[in-house]
Structure 1
Amino acid sequence: MAAPHTTRTASTVTVICRMPAGLVLDLYDAGELAARAGASTPVMAPPKPTASVRLNGAKADPRYHARDNVLLGMGGRTEVDASFWQAWTAQNPHFLPLVNGLIFAQPRAQDASAELAERGQHRSGLEGLEPKSLPGVTPFAKDVA
C-alpha cells in the first residue's frame, strides 16, 4: 500500500525528531504567561497552549524495525507550519533537545534527510543498550533438552 500523499507548501518546514517516541511542541501566548507571572495571587491551573504540534519520533522512521530496535541514524519526519516553528524556536531557545540537535528543521525534505544523515551517526544518548556489550552481564545459557 502506498504512503499517503501530503501536500507541501512553501510555508512548511520538515522537522526531524531523533527522540524515540517523538515530542509534543506547545506554543503559548507570551502576554498571557506574563500576566500569570505578575498576578497578585498564584494561578494554579496550567497554561493553555495556543497551538500544538506532535512530532513523529525515531520509531516512526520507515527504516525502523521493532525487532532490531536500532535507532542510530533514525528520525521521524513531520511537516510543520513555518510560522509555528519560528515562533516555537523563538519561545524555547534553550530547550535541550533543540540545542543538542535532537530536533531540527529544514525548509526542504531532502535537506532535512541530508542533515539527518550527517547527524544520525552521532549517538543521541537515547538509543537502547547492546546487551552483549554490558560489563558484568552474561546471558543465560540455553537449556539443552
Structure 2
Amino acid sequence: MAAAPNTPRTSATVTVICRMPAGLVLDLYDVAALAARASAATPVMAPPRPVASVRLNGAKADPRYHARDNLLLGMGGRTEVDASFWQAWCAQNPHFLPLKNGLIFARPRAEDAAAELAERGQHRSGLEGLEPQGLPGVTPFARDVA
C-alpha cells in the first residue's frame, strides 16, 4: 500500500520550486493594515503580523541531494502551495529578486515544474558551494607525518 502524500493535491494548488539551499518563508500581509500603520500619528514599533505564511522547501530538500557531496546545481525543493496565496504573494512582491531571477517559480502541474527545473537547473544560481579544488591561490593543507 502506497503512503499518502503529505499535502493533498487539488486543482487549487501550484507546485512551487525553490532553488535556494535552505528554502524560504513567504509571508502575505494585509495591505490596508500596512497602510494604516504607515499613516499612524505615532509609529507602531511592533512588527507587522502576516495574514498567511508558507515555508518553501529548499534545494537541500530535493530527493537527489546528498549532504556529503553538497552539490546543489540542478536541484530545487518542491512545495504545494495554494494558488490564490501564490498569486497574491507574487502581486505583493513583484520586485523580489529570487522571484525575478527565477530562483523561485511555480507551475500548475508538478510535471511542468520539474521540466522547468530541468531547464533552469543547469544554470548556476550563485548559491552553490565553492569547490575547494577550483579556488585560485589556495593549496591544500599538507599533513605532518609523525
Shift of 1:40: 0.9
TM (norm. structure 1) is: 0.95
Unaligned segments of structure 1, at least 5 residues: none
Q: Which residue of 1 aligns with 2:100?
A: 99
Shift of 1:66: 0.1
Greater shift after overlay, 58-67 or 38-47?
38-47
Q: Which residue does 1:135 correspond to in 2?
A: 136
CA deviation after TM superposition for structure 1 residue 140, in Å: 1.8
After superposition, give the CA deviation of every residue in 1:17-53 in whole Å (9 maximum; x if it has no partner).
0000000000000000000011111111000000000
Q: Which residue in the other structure is 1:68 paired with?
A: 69
Cα RMSD between the aligned structures? 1.3
Aligned residue pairs total: 144
Query: Identical aligned pairs, as a percentage?
Result: 85
Q: Which runs of 4+ in 1 moved over 2 A?
A: 141-145
Residue 7 of structure 1: CA displacement?
2.0
TM value normalised by structure 2: 0.95
The equivalent residue for 1:110 is 111
SS at match of 2:89: helix
Map 1:43-62 → 2, pairs under 5 A: 43-62=44-63
Partner letter of residue 109 of structure 2? R
